[in-house]
Amino acid sequence: MQTRELGTSELKVSALGLGCMGMSFSYGPPRDKGEMTALLHAAVDRGVTFFDTAEVYGPYLNEELLGEALAPFRGRVAIATKFGFDLDPGRDPRGMNGAPGLDSRPEHIRQVAEASLKRLRVDTLDLLYQHRVDPAVPIEDVAGAVKDLIQAGKVRHFGLSEASAATIRRAHAVQPVTAVQSEYSLWERRVEAEILPTLGELGIGLVPYSPLGRGFLTGAVDAATTFAQGDFRNNLPRFTPEARAANQGLVDLLGRIGARGGATPAQVALAWLLAQRPWIVPIPGTTRLSRLDENLGAASLRLAPEDLRELRAAAEAMQVQGARYPQALEQMTGR
């Protein structure tokens, strides 16, 4: 597995990480702990050194899973986690019944960091993101709180998720930002306008989440697919049967390009992302070993220049149908 550096931070990780949310959250009931532990161990065996979690995934279950499963590999792997949601029992962290509460007050950040340290069974958090920008708390105060944690030896690197270019600049001026995590894939390219140039200028890495379009770009999901109860794709406008049918052309193109070189649509989609910038580290998620192996195969796939041009032209010509989130959650991005 090749490695990449997130910006100019000196945080070097595997070129593909592993998004772990689906093991405990959002895609139906939490998966079997033993099976997920085996999958995490298999990922390490295959060279993955970058794992993504958050306190809200479960809540808490995902951090606990990674803390136990990855304990034997301390010093060999980097675990990223996140703060920023108010997980009061009276609120709905999934946002299915309205937007979840945000809380990035400095005192709350300190509390979350301490709790995450315990659940992850580490002395220092490798990368701590603000999960969503909290309009009630100046980003300078957020960055300052994380800076204090870094100086105290409890956090190594600071990150932001779904932040605007202006917010990234303001935060970076207080505490250098190592990575920004935002959705980025062939069917979600809004980061290209302002975020990518800003990150390149400031020396910040990009960690694309949902790089396979929550499964759609793998070719395993079509207009006829039904999702289990508790799968949050049931609530996403982009995953209505009509939207899936309208967006199918991009998946068909991925399949045709992959067929030229014996690659799958998922591998082509990930290889396209890796080709965009050398400091991009996608974090596809999976709960299946076969999918893990398929995804990791993208790290060694080199798309021909004509393939990259064809994919770019198709993505730019395509009018993706359906918003990626319900309105309440979409409003929490790009602040």
pLDDT digits (tens, 9 = 90+) for 81-135: 999 999 976 655 444 344 568 999 999 999 999 999 999 999 999 999 999 999 9
Q: Give me the pLDDT at residue 97, please.
A: 40
For the question of residue 57 being annotated catalytic, the response is yes
Query: Which long-range contacts link 146-155 to residues 24+ away (Cβ below 8 Å)?
Result: 146/109, 146/175, 147/174, 147/175, 148/106, 148/110, 149/109, 149/110, 149/113, 149/125, 150/175, 153/123, 153/124, 154/113, 154/114, 154/117, 154/123, 154/124, 154/125, 155/113, 155/124, 155/125, 155/128
Q: Are the C-beta atoms of residues 222 and 244 closer than 8 Å to each other?
A: yes
Does pLDDT of 311 surpass 70? yes
* pLDDT tens digits, one per residue of 160-217: 999 999 999 999 999 999 999 999 999 999 999 999 999 999 999 999 999 999 999 9
The Cα 158–Cα 171 span in angstroms is 10
Q: Give me the pLDDT at residue 88, please.
A: 78
* pLDDT tens digits, one per residue of 61-84: 999 999 999 999 999 999 999 999
CATH fold for domain 3-330? TIM Barrel (3.20.20)
Q: Give me the pLDDT at residue 163, please.
A: 98
Q: Give me the pLDDT at residue 96, please.
A: 39
CB atoms within 10 A of CB 282: 28
329: tokens are 């959650």
The Cα 241–Cα 127 span in angstroms is 37
Domain edges within the chain: 3-330
28: tokens are 């139906």
Greatest C-alpha distance within the chain: 54
Mean pLDDT (the chain, rounded): 95
CA dihedral 153, 159, 160, 164 (to 10 degrees): 120
Catalytic residue among 27, 57, 184, 325: 57
Q: Give me the pLDDT at residue 98, please.
A: 44
Q: Give me the pLDDT at residue 328, please.
A: 87
Q: Are the C-beta atoms of residues 66 and 120 closer than 8 Å to each other?
A: yes
Q: Are the C-beta atoms of residues 30 and 64 closer than 8 Å to each other?
A: no
Q: Report the predicted TM-score, pTM, of the whole model to 2 decimal places.
A: 0.96
What is the share, in percent, of the chain residues with pLDDT greater than 70? Answer: 96
